[in-house]
Amino acid sequence: MATEVSRGDATAFAVVGRAQQKNRAQRIWDFMGAWPVFPVFMLSILIVMALLADTPFYGGVTGFNPELPSLADRNAPINSDADLKSWERAVQRAEKNGTPIPDRPHFWLGADQFGRDILTRIMKGAQISLIILTIAVTVGMVFGTTYGVAAGYFGGILDEALMRALDVYFSIPFILLALTAVIVFGQSITVMLVLLALLAWPPFVRNVRAEVLSLKEREYVAASRATGASDVWIMWKHIVPNVINTVIVIATLRVGQLILAEAILSFLGAGVPPPTPTWGAMVAEGRDYLASAWWISFFPGVMIFLLVMSLNFIGDWFRDRFDPRLRNSV
């Protein structure tokens, strides 16, 4: 009888334990679904890589110059040491100059066709890509929001003229525009910035204008107008604060699209000039070595995928939180 009771207790404890584990797993899953934990974690890693790209810690981790070739290390495989003779020459220079003797560099992610470390170039490429994208999105956001607010608030002939101008702009093939700009002005970071800014602003216009058309009919806007408030004051105090949520969501989603655009332009040879590394250019440089040195294109491509995926998830999360039509369903 005691044995049967003890067995029953053991079974009950096992059932309770499994239920607790299931509830714990369900709580973790619900938390992961309610907050973009994984996308924020991945985005944080990429930002840290970009921040470390010009610090002493960065050189201590990789031991390589992202732009300096080493013919002895061409297409070095993953997890391999750098050429022994190159390292010995570096040691001799350090001894001659009285500087600390460097450790033998290690290719954690392999080397490209010029013997340049892939990890080093990914870190430097993260910095360059994020700087370009931040400036381009900021410029596009400010210009596109201003354009949309003006078109929606004033309406009439101004709205019609601005929206027809936008339609004309949409009819211009962006790739053709980008290639023409590179032919005329050459490859440079400035040209890339301008091109991405030109690509960034149109989505803000239509979405912001649609919200402003509704907001300008609200009672508090009419009351401000009745008190003699100027149009600029009304737009700044009542219109712009109410479209910020939409602007943030669009900006977050647009960054991911601009990353792909930068990668495509670099792949086509219209991006940042070599040897400055960008992820899109690294993918393009490795396409001729996919059979023998697949890591040249693979790892930059993975970084593009992770960054775009993270930003899209974060943008969806912002949209779900800021859109009142979706907020109650979350």
Q: Which domains does the chain have, with CATH numbers?
A: 130-327 (1.10.3720.10)
Low-confidence ranges of the chain (pLDDT < 50): 1-2, 5, 59-60, 326, 329-330
Neighbours of 112 (CB within 10 A): 26
Q: Using an 8 Å Cβ cutoff, are 204 and 152 in contact?
A: no
CA distances from 320 to 106, 158, 159, 324, 329 (A): 44, 33, 30, 8, 9
How far, in Å, CA of 26 to CA of 102, rounded?
49
- Which residues have CB under 8 Å from 112's CB, separation 6+? 74, 75, 118, 121, 282, 285, 286, 293, 296
How far, in Å, CA of 97 to CA of 110, rounded?
29
Q: What are phi and psi of 115, to 5 degrees?
A: 80, 20
CA distances from 287 to 181, 202, 269, 309 (A): 25, 32, 13, 23
What's the token pair of residue 52? 């470390």
How far, in Å, CA of 121 to CA of 266, rounded?
15
